[in-house]
């Protein structure tokens, strides 16, 4: 049942989308097809990512209020309680920026099967929709030198670095002093630990996974992260413009 849902909802749509884009990409470049497929996936997930991004921008706007609460409440437990109440008041989740990364994991797994089961031995025409035709010519080397089915340290490194900047933009920076973890209340410790893991652990994880699986997955992650960074900067600029207009009015 689970495997059938996985194939129907993720594997087959991604596989058919990739095959279609390969057939229309210049020189049948699979790397170009991966980029276009990534942008399509991000378009489908855009409502979720946009809501998460707006939430993170809002959290940065209330940072002065958070700072005021920290100055007013010196007790760490009371401080954390008041900050969480502030988040709830504004309908915010301090970790919402991480949710989209987690949502992408099933897509990454599906892409693994697409590249290794669907393409490594040629096109699996039995998995194609009736209106999708396998291309006669295709090129596994992105830009002429990066094998999409092989490992690429360059693309994996770029994926990891872009993930770091994406998390630095989307995850609010806490006073994550490693030496203090374990000395505060449980809620505070969990928030600080999670913040550290997402900021520094996730980019390393992305690099390892991207390098281990294939250059195609690394290219997907890199493109997705660059899209996220551009989206974040756009939402911030729009929010700033709106705020300025409100003050002028």
pLDDT in tens, 126-153: 888 889 888 888 888 998 889 988 899 9
Question: How many domains, in total, are found in the chain?
Answer: 1
Residue 34, domain member (yes or no): yes
> Mutual orientation of helices 30-44 and 46-61 as an angle, nearest 10°?
70
Assessment of whether the complete model's pTM goes beyond 0.85: no
54 assigned to some structural domain: no
Share of the chain above pLDDT 70, in %: 80
Instruction: Give pLDDT, residue 180.
Output: 46
Tens of pLDDT along 55-113? 777 777 777 777 787 777 777 777 777 777 778 777 776 666 666 667 777 887 888 78
Identify whether 8 is part of a domain. Answer: yes
Give residue 95's pLDDT: 65
In a domain, 12, yes or no: yes
Identify the CA nearest to 113 among candidates 224, 217, 26, 40.
217
Is residue 15, in this structure, part of any structural domain at all?
yes
**Residue 137 and residue 157: Cα distance in Å, rounded?**
30
Residue 51 covered by a domain:
no
Does 206 reside within a domain?
no
Q: Give the structural domain span for 32.
A: 1-45+104-147
What's the pLDDT at 223?
94
Q: With residue 220 as reference, give the H or E element that holds it.
A: helix 215-248
107 touches 41 (CB < 8 A): yes
Measured CA to CA in angstroms, residue 81 lies from 8, 74, 182, 216 at distances of 44, 12, 17, 44
Is 217 or 248 the better-scoring residue by pLDDT?
A: 217
């Amino acid at each position: 049942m689970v495997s059938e849902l996985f194939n129907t909802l993720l594997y087959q749509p991604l596989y058919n989308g990739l095959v279609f884009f390969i057939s229309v990409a210049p020189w049948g470049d699979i790397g170009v097809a991966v980029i276009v497929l990534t942008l399509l996936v991000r378009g489908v997930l855009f409502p979720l990512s946009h809501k998460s991004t707006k939430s993170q921008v809002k959290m940065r706007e209330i940072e002065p209020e958070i700072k005021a609460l920290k100055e007013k409440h010196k007790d760490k437990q009371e401080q954390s309680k008041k900050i969480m109440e502030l988040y709830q008041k504004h309908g915010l989740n301090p970790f919402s920026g991480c949710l989209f990364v987690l949502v992408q994991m099933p897509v990454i797994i599906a892409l693994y099967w697409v590249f290794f089961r669907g393409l490594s031995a040629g096109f699996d025409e039995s998995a194609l929709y009736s209106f999708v035709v396998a291309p006669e010519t295709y090129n596994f080397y992105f830009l002429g030198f990066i094998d999409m089915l092989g490992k690429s340290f360059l693309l994996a490194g770029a994926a990891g670095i872009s993930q770091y900047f994406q998390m630095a933009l989307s995850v609010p920076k806490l006073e994550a002093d490693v030496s203090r973890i374990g000395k505060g209340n449980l809620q505070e410790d969990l928030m600080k630990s999670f913040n550290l893991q997402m900021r520094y652990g996730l980019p390393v994880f992305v690099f390892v996974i991207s390098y281990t699986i294939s250059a195609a997955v690394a290219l997907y992650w890199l493109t997705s992260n660059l899209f996220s960074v551009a989206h974040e900067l756009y939402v911030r600029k729009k929010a700033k413009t709106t705020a300025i207009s409100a003050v002028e009015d």
